[in-house]
């Protein structure tokens, strides 16, 4: 099986992609351990600060030692240089807030999943023509499930995952799955800045379990 298919299958099976950033390495690792205990097998860390690359490098090290079945993705990739740096330290998949053609051209021939953020049919077509198979609908709450219902038939081969404003309630999650998403990306509503500041890893773990249970009961 191709690596792109393998990552796609893992995210789709999970039905949810948790994402977070924390500037502190210890907090970053403890959040990773908490969501792994909850059953997470694919996670996105976002490149949103000066310590992101070194924190991600540490995540790869801890994953290799403790969680060999966990896929580590890097998000907020805006440049080719970032993609090169994170591929070098071992990122399994890449996510962007928008479509960056040179990142697609760099990763896809290497059989590495690249999921660009798109919010118009034009952007989705450009991404699809560049070989992208996994679209992040971003910002999800600006578009809403009706947007996906309206365009899904045009893109039968693409996997869609809304991210941005997706919350942990059954109603919100169900609305997206009814519209035809394969997974939802979930950041601040699941792993908030406050819960990380409180170092409340037990809460992160229990809320992740709760969301996974909701998704399993919907799918
Ligand atoms: O790209 C990721 C989004 O900024 C996450 O949004 P969220 O925190 O509303 O889930």
Ligand 1: distance of its center to the CA of 143 in Å? 13
How many CA atoms within 13 Å lie on the side-chain side of 190?
34
Contacts of 194-200 spanning 24+ positions with Cβ under 8 A: 196/20, 196/22, 196/27, 196/31, 199/27, 199/30
Q: Say how far apart CA 204 and CA 194 lie, in whole Å.
A: 11
Q: Are 115 and 94 in contact (CB under 8 A)?
A: yes
- 20, 165, 176, 193: which to mutate for ligand 1, most atoms within 8 A of CB? 165
**What confidence score (pLDDT) does residue 193 get?**
98
Maximum separation of any 2 CA atoms in the chain, in Å: 45
- Write the residue with the smallest CA distance to atom 10 of ligand 1: 187
CB-CB contact of 17 with 184 (8 Å) = yes
CA angle 96–193–169, rounded 5-degree value:
80
Question: Closest ligand 1 atom, CA of 166?
Answer: 10
Task: Tell me how far the alpha carbon of residue 139 lies from the centroid of ligand 1, in angstroms.
Answer: 8
- Centre of ligand 1 from the C-alpha of residue 87, in Å: 22
Specify the residue for token string 């679209």: 135
Q: Which structure tokens are listed for 112?
A: 């590495």
Structure confidence at residue 81 (pLDDT): 98
Delineate the domains of the chain, giving CATH numbers in brackets. 3-218 (3.20.20.70)
Query: Could you list the pLDDT tens digit for every one of the 219 residues in the chain?
Result: 999 999 999 999 999 999 999 999 999 999 999 999 999 999 999 999 999 999 999 999 999 999 999 999 999 999 999 999 999 999 999 999 999 999 999 999 999 999 999 999 999 999 999 999 999 999 999 999 999 999 999 999 999 999 999 999 999 999 999 999 999 999 999 999 999 999 999 999 999 999 999 999 998
For ligand 1, residues with CB inside 6 Å are: 19, 75, 97, 163-166, 186-189
pLDDT for residue 219: 84
Ligand 1, atom 2, residue with closest C-alpha: 164
Half-sphere exposure of 138 (CA within 13 A, CB side): 20
**Based on C-alpha coordinates, what's the Rg of the chain?**
16
Residue 1 CA to ligand 1 center (angstroms) comes to 30
Residue that has been written with the tokens 């490098």 in this structure: 57
Cα–ligand 1 centroid distance for 185 (angstroms): 7
Q: Report which of 24, 69, 19 is spatially closest to residue 44, judged by C-alpha positions.
A: 19
Cα–Cα distance measured from residue 79 to residue 58, given in angstroms and rounded to the nearest whole number: 22
């Amino acid at each position: 099986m191709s690596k792109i298919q393998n990552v796609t299958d893992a995210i789709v099976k999970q039905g949810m992609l948790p994402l977070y950033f924390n500037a502190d390495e210890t907090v970053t690792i403890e959040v990773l351990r908490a969501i792994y205990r909850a059953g997470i097998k694919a996670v996105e860390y976002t490149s949103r600060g000066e310590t992101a690359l070194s924190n991600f490098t540490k995540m790869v090290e801890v994953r290799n030692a403790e969680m060999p079945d966990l896929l580590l993705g890097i998000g907020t990739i805006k440049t080719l240089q970032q993609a090169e740096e994170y591929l070098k330290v071992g990122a399994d998949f890449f996510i962007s807030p928008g479509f960056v053609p040179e990142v697609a051209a760099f990763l896809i021939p290497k059989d590495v999943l690249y999921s660009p953020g798109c919010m118009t049919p034009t952007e989705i077509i450009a991404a699809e023509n560049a070989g992208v198979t996994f679209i992040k609908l971003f910002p999800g709450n600006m578009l809403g499930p009706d947007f996906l219902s309206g365009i899904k038939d045009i893109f039968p081969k693409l996997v869609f995952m809304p991210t941005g404003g997706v919350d942990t309630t059954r109603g919100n999650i169900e609305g997206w799955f009814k519209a035809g998403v394969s997974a939802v990306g979930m950041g601040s509503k699941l792993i908030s800045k406050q819960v990380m500041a409180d170092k409340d890893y037990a809460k992160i773990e229990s809320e992740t379990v709760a969301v996974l249970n909701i998704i399993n009961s919907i799918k």
